[in-house]
Structures are given as structure tokens and as C-alpha cells.
Amino acid sequence: MNLTVFGIGYVGLVQAAVLAEVGHQVVCVDVDEKKVERLNQGLVPIFEPGLEALVKENHAAGRIKFTTDAAAGVKHGEIQMIAVGTPPGEDGSADLKYVLAVAETIGREMDSPKIVVGKSTVPVGTCEKVKAKIAETLKARGREDLAFDVASNPEFLKEGSAVADCMKPDRIIVGTNSEDTEAVMRELYAPFNRNHEKMIVMDVRSAEFTKYAANCMLATKISFMNEMANLAEELGADIEEVRKGIGSDPRIGYHFIYPGLGYGGSCFPKDVRALIKTAEGVKFDAKLLRAVEERNNAQKSVLFDKVNRYFKGNLKGKTFALWGLAFKPNTDDMREAPARVLMEALWQAGAKVQAYDPEAMQECQAIYGLRDDLLLCGTKEAALRGADALLIATEWKSFRAPSFDAVKDALTTPVIFDGRNLYDPKVIARHGIEYFSIGRMAA
């Protein structure tokens, strides 16, 4: 099938590459000329396991093309997929200007019937706005004869395993009331729907809402667990034992109940805020979601507070090794990463940071530029040299079993503040290192 994807971000690029891999002809349109130019040179702008090879192979095979030419993009695809960003506006609600700009482009350039697919995470009712925008643009052209439909098809990929998630989706949600549109969507996703039925077809509004409900549920699990962890510290309980104890109940499960420094990334924070705003719009008080967000914001400061207490508020002139910058492992994404809140608080207190992350160093440089109080180190060991303590903000695999003796030797003060509960407090104690983590007492 011929498919056009608007927006070559995380979602657009991964989906396009995966759909090209199974044989669809995909044209990707983006307004970012540099990004398009670099992709045409084989330079993939994000780190995601398996993505670079997939993009290069399909580009070389001519199944995926990158362009800024929106008119050519609209002409190409019988399906027009909108995967542009929906960042938070000033009040936290989702800003739809990019989505509606694409809708206008489609209305302006189309000269044959189209199925427009909303892939971006958008508030309930957005597909109706997209429909209205296309209809209005067609009317202005005197081309109301051109047929089109707008379906919702939210994306559930996880950064860090995005390619695998798109290759083997848990579910494919399609929101449409049209049998014809459903048939086209079934054909598009048939290669991913062979093992068992994964497509769940529903009305458009429910599909749009499903995406928010899923992200808000996951964010709620995280904030709940962080609340339990903070309380466990006060009560003298060990949250890691509690986690195993409750996870064994199949109604709760082990997924997404790790205590830590709060959720970050480009989705959970903005989607929780956006749903709160959507609720306000219909005069509904989303009490639980407001608490989820409040807990998360507070959680991002928990490790800094522990460090500050340990050093009795005297952080000026101290140097801290920081392992982990990305908001989670296997990505270089630092949007709303807890590490940023931590670093900024340390700088504010007059401390220096020696940081290492397996993938996010360039991203960190791009965000913060060159500054005297930030040293980006080539290895996790280099980050330790001469530091007053080790702080851990991301649970990368390569951090799980370091040489604790080497850690102890490199640090001025043998102390670890672990925001991801990577280690067994008893093991650390045996190595003569002080250890502070989340929801557990120091050993």
C-alpha cells in the first residue's frame, strides 16, 4: 500500500520503517529540512535499538523516502498518517497546531480520496477537528467532491524497544465507524496481525481516549509505588520486599511497580497534564490524576534531598558522579528526565556534576552546552574520579554490577545515592560503602 507519514519523530520514523519493512511504500514528510537531509544521507536522528539498520535497508531498497515536499507526500499515499508532535501548550493542554497544520495541507493538496489516520496522541474530539479542517479547506478550493475519512490509530510503542513494539504490537487500536476504513486499516496492519487477532476496532472518541487512559494508568502505577516507597522509609519497611510481595498477586503484577525518581520522557508527563486539562474542559475534577502528577513532581527531588541531608546542606564546591541521564534505559531521550531535575538542583546548590550515560551524552551537551559545572565523561569509571559521591538516575544494564571496590577507591566519600534501587544494600555494606536508595533503609 502507499502510505504517507507526516512527522519524522520517534513515532513517525519507527512506524514508517516498520511498515516499509513489510513491503508498504512509505513517504515521510517533515518540515525539519536538516532532519530530512540527514536521513537522506543515512543519518538516523535518534538512538533506538534496531532502528538505524531498518531505516538504511528500507531507504536503500526504495521503500521509504524522506522529503519536505508536503504536496508530493499528499499525492503519494491513499493513507495519510499524522504523527507530528502534540506538545503541551502553556496551560498543559495538548497543542494541536501541528496536527491541524497537516490537516490543512492534506485538504489543500489532495486530488484523490484519502484515509487520514491520527497516530499522534490527541485529546478526545481531535479527529473531528481534523475532519472539519480538511472539509473547510476542500470547500475553499471548491473540491467538496473529494472523499476522505479520518480514523484514530494511537501508538503504544515504548521508547527503548520501539522497533520491537511496532513489529510485534500488543494491540492495534483503530477508531472508526466506517467499514471501508476498517478494511483499509486491516490491510495495512495485516503483516502484524498474523499470530492472533490484535486489532481492536472501536469508535473514534474511545480510541483517542484509550491512549490517554493507558498512559495515565501506567503513570498512576509509578506514582503509587513511589508514594509507597516514601512511606516505607518512614515506617522502617523495605519497598523492594513489598514490591515482590504485591507483584506476586496476578491482579497487580510485577510490571511498572518499580520505585524510583518519577516518570519522565515525552509522553507520561504531558499526557497526564493534558488529560487533567481535558477533564477541566468538561468540568470534571480529575482528583487522582492531579495527585499522580503532584507525587511525580515531588519524586524527582527525592534523591537530591537525600544528598543534601547527608552533606548537611553543604554542597557548594562538591563534585558528584552521575550515572544515567536519559529518562530511562535504551534511549537517548532526556525530555523531562529526573536526571535533569537532579543536576539542576545540584548546580543551584553550587556543586559540580561528572556525568556518564551510554547514549544520552550528545543530547545532554545539546541541552546544557558547555558549562564549568558539568563534565561529560567517556566512561562510568571516569565519572567517579575524585567525586564526593556516586548518584544513579537511570537503570542502564551496564550499571548493575560495577566493581564496588573500584567505586570506593575512586570516590572521596564512599557513598552511593541510588535512585533506581539497583543494588543489594547488604552487598554494598560489605564493600564498606554507605548506600541510600528509594524506599529502603540504609543497611
Please enumerate, by residue number, every residue annotated as part of a binding site for substrate: 156-159, 211, 256-260, 264, 328
Binding residues (CB under 6 A) for ligand NAD: these are 6-12, 29-32, 35, 83-86, 98, 101-102, 120-121, 155, 157, 159, 266-267
Q: Which residue lies nearer to ligand NAD by CB, 85 or 402?
A: 85
Active site residues: 267
Q: Which residues are annotated as a binding site for NAD(+)?
A: 30, 35, 86, 121, 159, 270, 335
Nearer to ligand NAD, 136 or 285 (CB): 136
What number of other Cβ atoms are within 10 A of residue 438's Cβ? 25
Binding residues: 30, 35, 86, 121, 156-159, 211, 256-260, 264, 270, 328, 335
Question: Which residue number is nearest to ligand NAD in terms of Cβ?
Answer: 9
Return the number of the residue (218 or 302) whose C-beta is nearest ligand NAD.
Answer: 218
Minimum distance from residue 155 beta carbon to ligand NAD (Å): 4
Which ranges constitute the DSSP H helices of 80-197? 97-109, 126-141, 162-167, 179-189
| Cα–Cα distances in angstroms (integers) from residue 189 to residues 133, 163, 207, in the given order | 27, 15, 16
Of 86, 108, 83, the closest CA to residue 97 belongs to: 86
Our CB check for ligand NAD shows the closer of 158 and 431 to be 158
CB of 160 vs ligand NAD, minimal distance in Å: 9
Place of cell 546544557: 368
Angle (nearest 5°) at CA 414 between 429 and 350: 140
Q: Is the Cβ of residue 41 or residue 317 nearer to ligand NAD in the bound state?
A: 41
Nearest 5°: phi and psi at 97?
A: -65, -35
Q: Which residues touch 47 (CB under 8 Å, ≥6 apart)?
A: 331, 332, 359
- Residue 261, judged by CB atoms within 10 A of its CB (0-12, 13-18, 19+), counts as buried
Which residue's CB is nearer to ligand NAD, number 46 or number 384? 46
CA gap 99, 184 in Å, rounded = 22
326: cell is 536519559
Minimum distance of ligand NAD from residue 442's CB (angstroms): 35
Residue burial 44-66, b: 16+ Cβ < 10 Å; e: rest: bbbbbeebbebbbebbeeebbbb
349: left (phi over 0), alpha (psi -120 to 50) or beta: alpha
356: its cell numbers? 556518564
Distance CA 440, CA 435 (A): 10
CB atoms within 10 A of CB 183: 11
CB-nearer residue toward ligand NAD: 311 or 327: 327
* DSSP for residue 312: T
Query: Min. distance of Cβ 181 from ligand NAD in angstroms?
Result: 20
Query: Least CB distance from residue 272 to ligand NAD, whole Å?
Result: 12
Residue 416 contacts residue 300 (beta carbons within 8 Å): no
Least spacing, CB of residue 273 vs ligand NAD, in Å: 12
How far apart, in whole angstroms, are the C-alpha atoms of residue 440 and residue 241? 9
What minimum distance in Å lies between the beta carbon of 364 and ligand NAD? 17
